[in-house]
Amino acid sequence: MDLFDKCYAFKRHEEVKAMGLYPYFQPIYENYGPIVKMDGREIVMAGSNNYLGLTTDPRVKEAAIEAIKKYGTGCSGSRYLNGTLDIHIKLEEQLAEFVGKESALLFSTGFQTNQGAIVPLIGKDDYVISDKDNHASIVQGTLISKGLWGSDVLVRYRHNDMQHLEEVISKLPLDAGKLIVTDGVFSMSGNIVNLPELVRIARKYNARIMLDDAHGLGVLGKGGRGTANHFGLDDQVDIIMGTFSKSFASLGGFIAGEKPVIDYIKHHSPALIFSASMTPPQVAAVLKALEIIKAEPERIERLHYNANKVRQGLKNLGFNVLDGQTPIVPVVIGDDLLTFKFWRMLFDNGVFVNAVISPAVPQGMQLLRLSFMATHEDKHLDFVIETFEKVGKELALID
Ligand SMILES: Cc1ncc(COP(=O)(O)O)c(C=O)c1O
């Protein structure tokens, strides 16, 4: 069997394309925040993680441009050697302060951040304990640990099921090093982790906690300080991880925690040491976004108003909308083809959302994932609700 045989045999995407229903890799030609240009038309974007609407904010764009003028377009090397700028250090200091930790460390993407933190932390006799629905970047990090040290190091528990977590963790040696890793806000469902219970279990069984707050920072907690802050548990979470590709209007990621822990990761993480650092415009954009997040908390209020308005509107129409308190609004459709069809009809009518099928969600839970921005106006939200009503009726999903 040739290595590439599986590639030549892979036809599912072509079949869906032939039906005109393929929802992925759709190019955006111009981006104005809530409105984008796709397929030669203006479309309401209801599927971006640009939660605070800052990727198109003139102040953020200007900061990025100024950074290019001062430092150039890239760093051409890793943080470890020749790729550290003064603004990398400034951003690390500001992020540590923002999430209430001693120290922070930047990585070039959020994906790399999870891998980059988990791999050096988990040694031969340690355990990483991971929620089954954690983001793929956590999964990859844990699989590397498993590859390095054997299958015993990786223990998984049912999604947000604290009873199961306690069951699996109680079987591990009490004095062994343990890291519980969880998303703060789960990216597909918008579920928030049961952090109070997770903290109780971690303390009881001598485990450390790493919280991936990609979708919580800038969204939950006081002034957007994230999921731990939302529960008043900032000091109980050992490592907070965040990405810049959502509320922070850029690309990259960070971890924050105690200084010796951050220093250790800084000197042992292949994902950090062997990868070029965040580019100047990316760093400058995050610095400006952070300044705006602190100065304009009303953006967060508006974001929640927007998401709640659509969540309620779609529920009132009879759609199966998962409950939540985040800007993520999942509408369960329950079938691959119907999800693609619904997606296509929304797109044809001027609304972009994300089509999510298995394995990203379990079979039967195929869904349309809507996500909102602080910069959506009521007219955009009304249009999304009206379009859902129209398409839902045409497909006989609602009366
Ligand atoms: C929960 C979670 N963690 C990590 C990441 C990875 O972040 P990035 O896309 O910035 O690399 C994402 C984004 O896709 C995410 O949703």
CB-ligand 1 contact for 369 (6 Å cutoff): no
CA 214 / ligand 1 centre spacing (Å): 6
Answer yes or no: is pLDDT of 117 > 90.
Answer: yes
- Local structure of residue 239 (DSSP, 8 states): E
CB-ligand 1 contact for 110 (6 Å cutoff): yes
CB-ligand 1 contact for 212 (6 Å cutoff): yes
CB-ligand 1 contact for 33 (6 Å cutoff): no
Q: What would the mean pLDDT of 290-309 be, rounded to a whole number?
A: 98
Q: What would the mean pLDDT of 160-169 be, rounded to a whole number?
A: 98
CA 109 / ligand 1 centre spacing (Å): 8
CA 63 / ligand 1 centre spacing (Å): 24
Degrees to nearest 5, angle at CA 96 with 93 and 99: 150
CB-ligand 1 contact for 306 (6 Å cutoff): no
Answer yes or no: is pLDDT of 324 > 90.
Answer: yes
pLDDT of residue 244: 98
Q: How is domain 58-295 classified at the CATH fold level? A: Aspartate Aminotransferase; domain 2 (3.40.640)
Residue length of the chain: 399
pLDDT of residue 359: 86
pLDDT of residue 151: 96
Answer yes or no: is pLDDT of 279 > 90.
Answer: yes
CA 111 / ligand 1 centre spacing (Å): 6
H helices within the chain, ranges in order?
Answer: 5-9, 12-18, 58-71, 86-99, 110-121, 136-149, 162-169, 195-204, 227-230, 259-268, 270-273, 280-295, 298-317, 336-348, 378-394
CATH homologous superfamily of 5-56+297-394: Aspartate Aminotransferase, domain 1 (3.90.1150.10)
Query: Rounded to 5 degrees, what are φ and ψ at 351?
Result: -130, 130
CB-ligand 1 contact for 111 (6 Å cutoff): yes
pLDDT of residue 269: 98
DSSP β-bridge partners for residue 157: 131
pLDDT of residue 336: 94
Task: State the pairing for strand pair 103-107/253-257.
Answer: antiparallel
pLDDT of residue 158: 97
Task: State the pairing for strand pair 178-183/208-212.
Answer: parallel
The domain locations on the chain are 5-56+297-394, 58-295
CA 175 / ligand 1 centre spacing (Å): 32
CA–CA distance, 47 with 354 (Å, rounded to integer): 6
pLDDT of residue 301: 98
- Local structure of residue 102 (DSSP, 8 states): S
Quick: pLDDT tens for 211-259. 999 999 999 999 999 999 999 999 999 999 999 999 999 999 999 999 9
Helix H or strand E encompassing 107: strand 103-107
CA distances from 170 to 203, 205, 206, 212 (A): 12, 7, 10, 23
Instruction: Write the DSSP string, 23-66.
Output: -SSPPPSEE-SSEEEETTEEEEE-B---TTSGGG-HHHHHHHHH
Active-site annotation holds for 380: no
- Local structure of residue 223 (DSSP, 8 states): G
48, 130, 187, 277: the catalytic one is 187
246, 309, 341, 380: the catalytic one is 246
Q: Residue 290 — pLDDT band, cuts 50, 70, 90?
A: very high
CA–CA distance, 381 with 361 (Å, rounded to integer): 26
Active-site annotation holds for 222: no
Answer yes or no: is pLDDT of 358 > 90.
Answer: no
Q: What would the mean pLDDT of 178-190 be, rounded to a whole number?
A: 96
Question: Mean of the per-residue pLDDT values for the chain?
Answer: 97
Q: Residue 360 — pLDDT band, cuts 50, 70, 90?
A: confident
Contact 169, 178 (CB under 8 A): yes
Answer yes or no: is pLDDT of 338 > 90.
Answer: yes
Q: Residue 303 — pLDDT band, cuts 50, 70, 90?
A: very high
CB-ligand 1 contact for 253 (6 Å cutoff): yes
pLDDT of residue 14: 95
CB-ligand 1 contact for 183 (6 Å cutoff): yes
Provide the 3-class DSSP secondary structure of residue 162: helix
Instruction: Write the DSSP string, 363-375.
Output: TT--EEEEE--TT
CA–CA distance, 106 with 124 (Å, rounded to integer): 26
pLDDT of residue 34: 98
Query: Rounded to 5 degrees, what are φ and ψ at 207?
Result: -115, 150
Ligand 1: residue of 49, 113, 130, 137 to mutate (most ligand atoms within 8 A of CB) is 137
Contact 231, 195 (CB under 8 A): yes
* Percent of all residues in the chain with a pLDDT value above 70, rounded to a whole number: 100
CA–CA distance, 64 with 283 (Å, rounded to integer): 8
* Percent of all residues in the chain with a pLDDT value above 90, rounded to a whole number: 98
101, 215, 288, 380: the catalytic one is 215
Instruction: Please report the atom of ligand 1 found closest to the CA of residue 184.
Output: 1
Active-site annotation holds for 215: yes
